[in-house]
């Protein structure tokens, strides 16, 4: 290779790097004691093929796939790598995952405009083209390099499982062998993508890339980061939302060996120590007096009573079809019901935590980073530095369910305030205990619904009036303008506003009261409550009309063949209409169904329940059908449905955060229970075959479960439960 040629043809790649800004990636190398040495490595050396922001191939023949989304269990890393590796024709074994830095120019969520954010079950949908194009581009350059090297036409070259092959002359090369030459070629702008029938990874089984590290203890979470000189901070938080620090006495705390400092940070008082246990003992010894002037002091029952009053008045209209009042006057039968939904905590297994270092005007963060753009802006604002001076290292999150994408960057800023308060003299790991995590707010909002529906003489639904009362999640956030229109926060009414059933006269309206309890999106957001009220009401109407609940729904879904197909698949696979096997005389069995669209996917579930003599119940089996467009990794789709059902079951059986005089009653898993393995039902998942672009998977498995369970309980006992969590006694 001549120097001249090299200089000339590397320009495009250099131009890319310039546009991208300085691309420096950190590697964390665990030493024998599990501590982490931090080294910086410059990406993109001359011999490295790096045609875009998503893939890098060096002479070691590894395909480094740069993933912009958080891996919190949902399989995003594996899915993103699958898309890229498919079009690259890489061998799955040679693919290595690397977390992308914070950079909204290159790594924004293409469905969320300027935000780099993992959420809304969009990781696959927004990356489907982007990652495949990135892979196809790299492939084209490897093929061109081989064609030049072998003096053959590019069209006669094939690529299979990481080998570039010219069959006619029996020559082949690895990606690593071609990377240097390929890196000098111009980057093609017009690459073609595969016909889906030629997919070898998409739609097949690519094993999860994080599976091994997560089965031998080597997967690194925020909790596992240890930097030289790092201090661990625990924060004494106020007992009520809106309280502030009045004063504190740190004498006893500072006497605990290992405690090095105590600082007030507005949201609480932080105890800094050399390790967790010293910090914990220090915090236990700390005495804080709280300013309660703006403290929130209501009981949750008082909040619900306020909502009940509000629901008597019309709200902001989210959807209005036909003339609902006129239709009700013609109805032969009218059913009215109200529904109550409590606050819910995310309760990820890894309580919130964050490591922040701030030195020489630069901030570096280690976090299960779900909202890079928001956190970066908030940190830059707090610290008075440019956003580019905030480097975010995205680590695995031990669950999130939405919590780590906090619109106020709450726990991230708390960690940064502590570092700021000690003038950056040490990196700080903020650790929330389970109690801190449970009581920190940012819950799924409490909701109250009223639903009134009218049937005509033939049992057809002719009128539907749905009123929702609950806090807006987006009010007061940077995304309010995008998400709240005409007084309607889309996420408060999603699932109710877009009810798929053909009902000519339909009104959905909303009250969004301001309450001093912070709220946030919680796996499947508005659908956590709208699926319940709509699908249990539909079931009740079917019973009133004496029509089978599946037939009743299908009759109203002629305009929605996708919904109808999913419903039929679930019903067929569950043996709908066949008698459930009998149980002993003291027990009653029942089967219930629910259908719901969320995040552009449609899911139906059939729940089989046994209600025992003591009025407790056991979920025996759940049959789930899902249409999520093209299933990129069907096994992960199944896993997300299984997990979504289990997650929903914890909420349906136990989930409630309650307030007493403003103080959160719950603190840990004894009073905020999760289901255990003995309670987990058998789950059968069926995926509708589809070649349509992929839609959401992480969240859509959650919404149908609770209504299907309530419908099953109604089938078994005749009792309609309308308050969550579901209790018969």
Binding site for other proteins (CB under 8 A): 32-35, 72-75, 207-208, 210-221, 223-224, 226, 232, 257, 275-277, 347-351, 396-401, 431, 433-434, 635-636, 639, 642-647, 649-650, 668-670, 674-678, 680, 682-683
- Closest C-alpha among 135, 170, 154 to residue 64: 135
- Minimum Å distance from CB 266 to other proteins? 26
Q: Which is nearer to other proteins, 51 or 399 (CB)?
A: 399
- Closest C-alpha among 521, 395, 307, 559 to residue 30: 395
- Minimum Å distance from CB 227 to other proteins? 13
CA atoms of 385 and 379, how far apart (whole Å): 8
CA atoms of 259 and 311, how far apart (whole Å): 52
Q: Which is nearer to other proteins, 281 or 490 (CB)?
A: 281
Cα pseudo-dihedral 641, 645, 647, 650, rounded to 10? -170
Angle at 148 between CA 145 and CA 151, to 5 degrees: 145
- Closest C-alpha among 97, 177, 121 to residue 601: 121
Q: Which is nearer to other proteins, 311 or 609 (CB)?
A: 609
Alpha carbons within 13 A on the beta-carbon side of 367: 36
Q: Which is nearer to other proteins, 143 or 639 (CB)?
A: 639
The residue whose two tokens read 């280690």 is 366
- Minimum Å distance from CB 669 to other proteins? 4
How many Å is the maximal CA-CA distance in the chain?
88
Q: Which residues of 166-189 are buried (b: 16+ CB within 10 A; e: fewer)?
A: beeeeebbbbbbbbbbbbbbebbe
Residue 189's φ and ψ, nearest 5 degrees, are -105, -15
CA atoms of 481 and 478, how far apart (whole Å): 8
Q: Which residues of 472-484 are buried (b: 16+ CB within 10 A; e: fewer)?
A: bbbeebebeeebb
- Minimum Å distance from CB 245 to other proteins? 24
Whether 554 and 568 have beta carbons less than 8 Å apart is answered as: yes
Q: Which residues contact 578 (CB under 8 A, 6 or more apart)?
A: none
Q: Which is nearer to other proteins, 431 or 556 (CB)?
A: 431
- Minimum Å distance from CB 265 to other proteins? 22
Alpha carbons within 13 A on the beta-carbon side of 166: 19
Q: Which is nearer to other proteins, 207 or 718 (CB)?
A: 207
- Minimum Å distance from CB 433 to other proteins? 6
- Minimum Å distance from CB 674 to other proteins? 5
Q: Which is nearer to other proteins, 230 or 469 (CB)?
A: 230
Element (H, E) at 13: helix 11-20
- Minimum Å distance from CB 589 to other proteins? 19
- Minimum Å distance from CB 154 to other proteins? 37
- Minimum Å distance from CB 2 to other proteins? 48
Q: Which is nearer to other proteins, 89 or 642 (CB)?
A: 642
Residue 317's φ and ψ, nearest 5 degrees, are -80, 125
- Minimum Å distance from CB 478 to other proteins? 27
Question: 355: which strand partners?
Answer: 366, 429
DSSP 388: G
Q: Which is nearer to other proteins, 543 or 650 (CB)?
A: 650
- Minimum Å distance from CB 486 to other proteins? 37
- Closest C-alpha among 244, 320, 332 to residue 289: 244
CA atoms of 403 and 409, how far apart (whole Å): 10
3-state secondary structure of 478: coil
Whether 266 and 245 have beta carbons less than 8 Å apart is answered as: yes
Whether 653 and 714 have beta carbons less than 8 Å apart is answered as: no
Q: Which is nearer to other proteins, 215 or 584 (CB)?
A: 215
Q: Which residues contact 433 (CB under 8 A, 6 or more apart)?
A: 234, 280, 351
- What separation in angstroms does the CA of 10 have from each of 47, 50, 91, 133, 669? 10, 11, 27, 20, 57
- Minimum Å distance from CB 347 to other proteins? 6
- Minimum Å distance from CB 75 to other proteins? 7
Q: Which is nearer to other proteins, 428 or 556 (CB)?
A: 428
- Minimum Å distance from CB 40 to other proteins? 23
Q: Which is nearer to other proteins, 34 or 113 (CB)?
A: 34
| Kind of pairing between the strands at 617-627 and 659-660 | unpaired
Q: Which is nearer to other proteins, 349 or 719 (CB)?
A: 349
Residue 120's φ and ψ, nearest 5 degrees, are 65, 25
Q: Which is nearer to other proteins, 48 or 78 (CB)?
A: 78
Cα pseudo-dihedral 684, 673, 651, 686, rounded to 10? -10
Residue 202's φ and ψ, nearest 5 degrees, are -65, 130
Q: Which is nearer to other proteins, 209 or 596 (CB)?
A: 209
- Minimum Å distance from CB 19 to other proteins? 34
Q: Which is nearer to other proteins, 44 or 282 (CB)?
A: 282
- Closest C-alpha among 604, 617, 601 to residue 652: 617
């Amino acid at each position: 290779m001549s120097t001249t040629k090299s200089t000339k043809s590397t320009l495009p790649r250099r131009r890319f790097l310039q546009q991208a800004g300085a691309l420096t990636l950190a590697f964390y190398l665990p030493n024998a004691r599990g501590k982490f040495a931090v080294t910086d490595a410059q990406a993109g050396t001359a011999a490295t093929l790096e045609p875009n922001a998503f893939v890098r191939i060096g002479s070691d023949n590894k395909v480094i796939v740069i993933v912009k989304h958080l891996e919190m269990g949902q399989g995003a890393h594996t899915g993103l790598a699958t898309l890229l590796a498919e079009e690259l024709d890489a061998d799955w074994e040679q693919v290595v995952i690397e977390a992308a830095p914070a950079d909204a120019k290159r790594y924004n969520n293409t469905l969320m405009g300027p935000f780099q954010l993992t959420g809304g079950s969009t990781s696959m949908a927004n990356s489907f083209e982007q990652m495949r194009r990135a892979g196809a581009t790299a492939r084209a350059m490897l093929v061109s390099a081989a064609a030049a090297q072998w003096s053959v036409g590019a069209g006669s070259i094939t690529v299979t499982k990481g080998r570039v092959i010219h069959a006619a002359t029996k020559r082949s090369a690895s990606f690593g062998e071609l990377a240097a030459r390929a890196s000098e070629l111009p980057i093609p702008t017009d690459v073609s993508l595969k016909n889906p029938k030629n997919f070898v990874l998409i739609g097949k089984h690519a094993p999860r890339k994080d599976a091994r590290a997560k089965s031998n203890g080597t997967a690194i979470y925020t909790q596992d980061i240890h930097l030289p000189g790092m201090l661990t901070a625990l924060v004494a938080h106020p007992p009520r939302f809106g309280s502030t620090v009045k004063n504190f006495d740190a004498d006893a705390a500072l006497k605990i060996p290992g405690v090095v400092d105590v600082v007030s940070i507005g949201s609480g008082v932080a105890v800094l120590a050399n390790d967790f246990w010293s910090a914990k003992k220090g915090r236990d010894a700390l005495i804080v007096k709280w300013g309660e002037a703006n403290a929130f002091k209501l009981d949750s029952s008082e909040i619900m009573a306020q909502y009940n009053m509000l629901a008597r008045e019309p709200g902001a209209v989210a959807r209005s079809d036909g003339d609902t009042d006129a239709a009700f006057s013609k109805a032969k039968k009218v059913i009215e019901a109200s529904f109550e939904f409590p606050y819910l905590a995310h309760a990820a297994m890894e309580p919130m935590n964050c490591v922040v270092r701030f030195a020489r005007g630069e901030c570096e963060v280690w976090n299960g980073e779900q909202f890079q753009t928001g956190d970066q802006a908030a940190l830059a604002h707090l610290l008075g530095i440019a956003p580019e001076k905030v480097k975010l290292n995205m680590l695995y999150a031990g669950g999130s369910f939405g919590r780590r994408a906090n619109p106020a960057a709450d726990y991230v800023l708390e960690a940064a305030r502590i570092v700021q308060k000690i003038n950056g003299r040490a990196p700080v790991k903020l650790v929330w205990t389970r109690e801190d995590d449970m009581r920190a707010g940012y819950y799924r909002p409490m909701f109250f619904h009223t639903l009134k529906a009218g049937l005509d003489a033939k049992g057809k639904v002719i009128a539907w009036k749905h009123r929702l009362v609950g806090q807006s999640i987006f009010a007061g956030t940077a995304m309010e303008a995008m998400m709240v229109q005409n007084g309607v926060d889309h996420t408060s009414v999603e699932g109710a506003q877009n009810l798929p059933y053909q009902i000519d006269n339909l009104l959905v309206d909303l009250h969004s009261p301001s309450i001093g309890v912070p709220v946030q999106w919680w796996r499947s957001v508005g659908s956590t409550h709208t699926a319940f009220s709509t699908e249990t009401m539909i079931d009740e109407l079917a019973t009133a009309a004496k029509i089978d609940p599946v037939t009743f729904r299908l009759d109203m879904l002629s305009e929605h063949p996708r919904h109808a197909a999913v419903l039929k698949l679930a019903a067929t696979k569950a043996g709908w209409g066949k008698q459930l096997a009998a149980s002993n005389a003291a027990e009653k069995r029942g089967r219930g169904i629910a259908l719901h669209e969320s995040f552009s996917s449609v899911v139906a579930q059939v729940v089989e329940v046994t209600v025992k003599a003591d009025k407790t119940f056991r979920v025996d089996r759940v049959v789930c059908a899902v249409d999520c467009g093209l299933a990129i990794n069907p096994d992960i789709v199944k896993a997300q449905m299984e997990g979504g059902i289990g997650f929903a079951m914890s909420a349906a059986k136990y989930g409630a955060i309650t307030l007493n005089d403003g103080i959160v009653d719950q603190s840990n898993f004894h009073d905020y229970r999760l289901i255990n393995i003995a309670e987990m039902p058998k789950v059968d998942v069926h995926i509708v075959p589809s070649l349509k672009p992929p839609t959401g998977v992480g969240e859509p498995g959650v919404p149908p479960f609770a209504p299907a369970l309530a419908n099953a309980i109604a089938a078994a006992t005749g009792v309609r439960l309308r308050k969550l969590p579901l209790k018969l006694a």
